[in-house]
Structure 1
Amino acid sequence: MVRTELAKKVVAEISRLLIGVVFIFSGIVKAIDPVGGAIKIGDYLMAFGFTWLSSFELLLTFCLSAAEFTLGVCMLLGVYRRYSSFFVLVFMLFMTPLTLYLALFNPVSDCGCFGDAIVLTNWETFLKNIVLLAAAVVAFIYNRYLCNFYTFKAYWFVTLFAYLFCIGFNYSNYSHLPIIDFRPFKVGANIPALVSIPDNAPADEYAYYFTYEKDGVKKEFSLENYPADDSTWTYVSSRSDLIKKGYVPPVPGFVLYDSASVDITDEVLRSKGPMFWLVIPSIEKADDKNIDAINNVFDFAQEQGYPFYCLTGSSRESMIDWENNTGSEYTFITTDDVLLKTMIRANPGLILINDGVIRAKWNPNDLPDEDYIKETMQNHLDGKSVNPKEDDGILFMLLSFTVPLLLVWIYDYFRNRRKRSDKQIES
């Protein structure tokens, strides 16, 4: 009997830890890149015919990431064990059949459950959800065996704090740039290396087959034995099968066009020295409230003789409207808007490039004041970061979340748990 109870507790605790860690990770990586999450939700809405909800993509990703994160925290800390395990089970009962449908029919390329941090195929996602569903069933059935680190009186704070923290973290990454850049165009990346194929890179390898006809009989030959010199055979058709995939650049299909629709990709990428890219995936949806800060950087680029391009996926009419509304005078370059959304999570966003290498990226909210532009840009070009380091931002985020929970745990322990234990000893 004792061994049976111990086994139940061990299995329940393993399930709790698995669910807690996975849900927290899933929620936090979505919150790191809420724009990317909104794009993925938009893919879902389009695939399932719910395009009328497209205006709520960002709100949905905020809520989804916060819900996953909160459930993960509650499971990990044993908060509202019965309710948390129930909602996790409901969540997995919904997601598992959904991911099976994705695996079978492939309406979207990947589920986006871990954002761009870990990209899983639809079948990998389905198998992952099978494991989580099994863990959710165990955690729900044996929820009374789950450890809890707080008393019931502190449950409300832990739950509310986790949810609001994740919402705030979402907003911070949306208003600025993601604290961690999981995409190819991160600071330090060499753009020509990302988009081009090296001269010595392996090419695709194909097997070629030819169908010939003789005396009313068709036969297929390979490249090695087809009847090239036998005139009694009549050529019918041919086909090719890919047997080995060649080198594929990390960012395929990178092409830049000028106003006359001329391909200027090589000209731009081979440009030496500093260069600015103002990235506006969609001019129609662009926020121009910080246009003065952008124009200040443009003026600085003009003074220094640095090229300044505006990359957009919008039409020429939209470019003209933008020029009229903002007074801009920079050169427009057209490219794929999906590529631009991958390049920087801002609309607009600014990128500083030197000899093809990305040196800095800004959301317009974070552009330096006019008096500090020269110093800021020179520091980036010299390799001196003037923004908080990524590691510092992660540490600050961890401390902002864990310290309040630790303080509440200390208070809860001495105010509630220990007091209750003392009463039990006295009785």
Structure 2
Amino acid sequence: MKDKNLHIIQEVVANMCRFLLAASFIFSGFVKAVDPLGFQYKIQDYLTAFGMASWFPSFFPLLGGIVLSAVEFFIGISLFFATRRTLATSLALMLMIFMTPLTLYLAIFDPVSDCGCFGDAWVLTNWETFGKNIILLFAAIMAFRHRRMLIRFISVKMEWLVSLYTLFFVFTLSFYCLDRLPVLDFRPYKIGKNILEGMTMLEGAKPSVYESIFILEKNGEQKEFTLDNYPDSTWTFVDTRTILKEKGYEPAIHDFSMIDLNTGEDITDDVLTDIGYTFLLVAHRIEEADDSNIDLINEIYDYSVEHGYKFYCLTSSPEEQIELWKDKTGAEYPFCQMDDITLKTMVRSNPGLMLIKNGTILNKWSDEDIPDEYVLTDKLENLPLGKQKVSSDAHTVGYVFLWFVIPLLLVLGVDVLVVRRRERKTAKRKQQEKEIKSKEPETKNQGIEEQE
């Protein structure tokens, strides 16, 4: 009786740990899959912080991020349905054994601000992440140790189909969001947000003190300047960075600053308070930007000039790279300097396009989805394009959920109606054969007795 009670307790604990791990890995893998570029930037931060950026090819952070998000999502779904129990629990345990000491190091030495385990959907401090990983490590140990006690929702014969479909779904989702834009936007620059409001401080709060450092070059010599001692136009811009001088309250948007490269002036307030339309072409590194759709971009600039709308290209690249871009693409639009991280946060595309009005983000497009002349047939005031794009995170999650769940329900239906019925019939037949065989000696003995 004691052993039976112990077995029940172990089974309950193992399955509770299994569902906790499943929820964590599904959520973690999903939010990374819908924002593959965001996770790429986080991996680049890790490699830079540990001095390993030069160890890997340039495509590694993106490819590695997509693969890791797929693995996490696969582990979560496998644990939820209890398919591939040995593989899923082993992978979960190995990841937690690796991540737990890593996050302890991050918590102590703080080389990166957050681990990025849940992307921008749920930002945890490094100590909060370490505490979470301690709990998940214990759950992974229990699930692995008692993996045979995990209750299956899918038969063994159908689990391969669930595994293949899970990987197909998560890879398809990642590459779709990479080609377009994330289907869910967890950043402060999502459609419908007002940038000025996002920059507003809470009343009475003490702000963080930042300083912009500009690296300029003249006669082969590079020097650092601030806005207070910014030199004349004989100096050539090389790079810029923002440093935190004093920590305080930080609003959702704290580093949005547009520096006009023609005049060197900060035009942020002029742009964000303009009641007209403004197109912002976002190219965080202009030398790495895709120029395959540059004709569409130039057409939108011509359209803006024709109808009196503002158009700026925002980049963090030095002036020589901007000049190369102009020569290569024939760009005539004005350029503004902005922080690289801010640009990466605004639009997950290089280049990407944003439409704002009075500081409110009306729409965003990836390089592959830029509106063309067939859409821009009139003034923006008369087009649906000029209205704020209506989107609902709940509806989006529902659609994605249905795309994943409906095929799985079909698999479950086949599993219940066909596979398991066949297994029951097979088991019943084997039981009958066993009973017949067990009766054969009795029949033979009866025959012998009758002959005697």
Specify the TM-score bucket, using the shorter chain as the normaliser: 0.7 to 0.9
CA deviation profile, 1:107-165 (whole Å, cap 9, x unmatched): 11110000000001111111101111101111111111101122222222211221221
Over the aligned positions, Cα root-mean-square deviation in angstroms equals: 2.0
Q: What is the deviation of 1:195?
A: 2.5
Q: Does the aligned pair in 2 maintain the 1:28–1:69 contact within 8 Å?
A: yes
Aligned AA (2:360): V
- Note the C-alpha offset of 1:86: 1.4
Structure 2 equivalent of residue 362 of structure 1? 365
Q: Distance in 2 between matches of 1:360 and 1:204?
A: 30
**Aligned partners of 1:328 and 1:147: how far apart in 2?**
61
Q: Residue 267 of structure 1 aligns with which residue?
A: 270
The 2-side partners of 1:90 and 1:193 are apart by: 44
Counterpart residue number, 1:238: none
Q: Cα distance, 1:4 vs. partner?
A: 1.6
In 1, Cα distance between equivalents of 2:25 and 2:151: 18
Q: Residue 178 of structure 2 corresponds to which residue in structure 1? A: 174
CA distance in 1, matches of 2:392, 2:200: 29
Deviations 1:162-213 (A, max 9, x none): 1221111111111101001110011111112223447x544469xxxxxxxx
Superposed CA deviations along residues 252-287 of structure 1, whole A, max 9, x for unmatched, are: 232211123222222222222111100110001100
Given candidates 17, 31, 34, the residue that maps to 2:36 is 34
2:400 is matched with 397
TM-aligned CA distance change 1:384 to 1:360, over 3 Å: closer
Residue of structure 2 equivalent to 1:3 = 5
Check conservation: 2:192, 2:388, Cα contact below 8 A.
Answer: no
- Give the conservation status (yes or no) of the 8 Å contact 1:368–1:376: no
Determine the structure 2 residue equivalent to 1:381: 386
Counterpart of 2:167 (choices 160, 163, 166) is 163
Task: Report whether the alignment pairs 1:117 with 2:121.
Answer: yes
SS at match of 1:373: coil
CA shift in 2, pair 1:103/1:389, >3 Å: closer
Range moving further from structure 2, 319-328 or 276-285: 319-328
User: Does the CA contact (< 8 Å) of 1:359 and 1:381 recur in 2?
Assistant: yes
Residue 232 of structure 1 corresponds to none
Distance 2:26 2:71 in 1: 10
Matched-pair contact (CA < 8 Å) for 1:310–1:332: yes
> What amino acid does structure 2 have at the position aligned with 1:95?
M
- TM-score when scaled to structure 1? 0.86
Question: Aligned pair in 2 of structure 1 residues 91, 364: CA closer, same or farther (>3 Å)?
Answer: same
**Mapped partners of 2:180, 2:25: distance in 1:** 25
Shift of 1:374: 4.0
Residue 20 in 1 paired to residue 22 in 2? Answer: yes
- Residues 303-340 of structure 1, C-alpha deviation per residue, up to 9 Å, x if partnerless? 11000111111111111111111111111111111110
Deviation digits for residues 21-76 of structure 1 (CA, Å, limit 9, x no counterpart):
11000000001111110000001111222212251110010000000000111000
Native 8 Å contact 2:28 2:117 kept in 1: yes
Distance 2:316 2:41 in 1: 16
Letter in 2 for 1:379: P
> Equivalences for 1:254-403 in 2 at 5 Å?
254-259=256-261, 260-374=263-377, 377=380, 378-383=383-388, 385=390, 390-403=393-406
Is contact 2:278-2:311 (8 Å) kept? yes
SS across alignment from 1:309: strand
Q: Matched residues in 2 for 1:204 and 1:391: separation?
A: 33
Number of residue pairs matched by the alignment: 386
Aligned partners of 2:109, 2:150: CA distance in 1, in Å?
38
Larger displacement relative to structure 2 (405-414 or 309-318): 405-414
Q: Quote the residue 1:45 is aligned against.
A: 47
Distance 2:162 2:179 in 1: 26
- Report the CA distance shift for 1:400/1:201 in structure 2 as closer, same or farther (over 3 A): same
Matched, 1:72 2:70: no
Tell me the amino acid that sits aligned with residue 8 of structure 2. L
Percent of residue pairs identical: 44
- By how many angstroms is 1:300 displaced? 1.6
Does 1:146 find its partner at 2:150? yes
Residue identity in the other structure for 1:22: S
Structure 2 gaps, min length 5: 209-245, 432-452
How far apart in 1 are the matches of 2:13 and 2:121? 29
Aligned residue for 1:362, secondary structure, equals: strand
Structure 2 CA distance for aligned equivalents of residues 370 and 348 of structure 1: 19
| Equivalent pair of 2:39/2:119 in contact (CA under 8 Å) | yes
Instruction: Quickly say closer, same or farther: Cα 1:316–1:20, change in 2 above 3 A.
Output: same
| Bigger CA radius of gyration | 2
Unaligned runs of 5+ in 1: 206-241
SS across alignment from 1:154? helix
CA distances 1:55-112 after superposition (whole Å, capped 9, x unpaired): 1110010000000000111000010112211121111111111111111111111100
Say yes or no: does 1:193 pair with 2:193: no
Structure 1 residue matching 2:124: 3-state secondary structure: coil
In 2, are the aligned partners of 1:201 and 1:246 still within 8 Å (CA)?
A: no
Query: In the alignment, is the contact (CA less than 8 A) between 1:294 and 1:364 conserved in 2?
Result: no
User: Which residue among 423, 435, 442 is the counterpart of 1:420?
Assistant: 423
Q: Distance in 1 between matches of 2:119 and 2:396?
A: 19
Separation in structure 1 between the aligned mates of residue 15 and residue 377 of structure 2, nearest angstrom: 56
Mapped contact 2:282–2:343 kept (Cα < 8 A): yes
